[in-house]
Amino acid sequence: IITDSGGFQVFSLANACADEEGPELKSRRKRNQDDAGTGTVLALSEQGVHFRSYLDNREIFLSPESTVDAQKRFGSDIIIPLDELPPYHVTPERLKESVYLSHRWMARSLRRHLQDQ
């Protein structure tokens, strides 16, 4: 089983432009517009990412460690660690920061994975 941390979904929903979304996501957003709104990244830090669910507006926190723990509970054979997905129009400096943050998160993910072995 290959599992993903959910980072792509967090950042792609936060950075999505209505004109770039497929029909399924557009209809889901329209359906939830009155009661929940759209998903939003609330805070990004060394610790992880706080975001608001586009489904029910609930605040959720993902850390490198929590995503590894969740994927291990699924019995994953291949775990994809948490990474940041910045929008395509960032500056080269911001992209560099994102790569370094994702690398540090990956190292934490690996340490967490190896703790249980």
pLDDT in tens, 13-34: 676 544 444 444 444 444 444 4
73-106 exposure pattern, b = at least 16 Cβ within 10 A, e = fewer: eeebeebbbbbbebeeeeeeeeeeebeebbeebe
Backbone angles phi, psi at 70, to 5 degrees: -65, -45
pLDDT at 39: 64
What's the CA dihedral at 46, 51, 99, 19 to 10 degrees? -160
Distance CA 96, CA 115 (A): 29
What's the CA dihedral at 93, 98, 99, 104 to 10 degrees? 130
Task: Give the domain ranges of the chain.
Answer: 2-115
pLDDT at 31: 40
pLDDT at 116: 75
Segment 52-99, tens digit of pLDDT: 887 888 899 999 999 999 999 999 999 999 999 888 889 999 999 999
Look up the pTM and report it.
Answer: 0.77
Q: What is the mean pLDDT of residues 33-37?
A: 47
List the structure tokens of 41.
């990244």
pLDDT at 30: 44
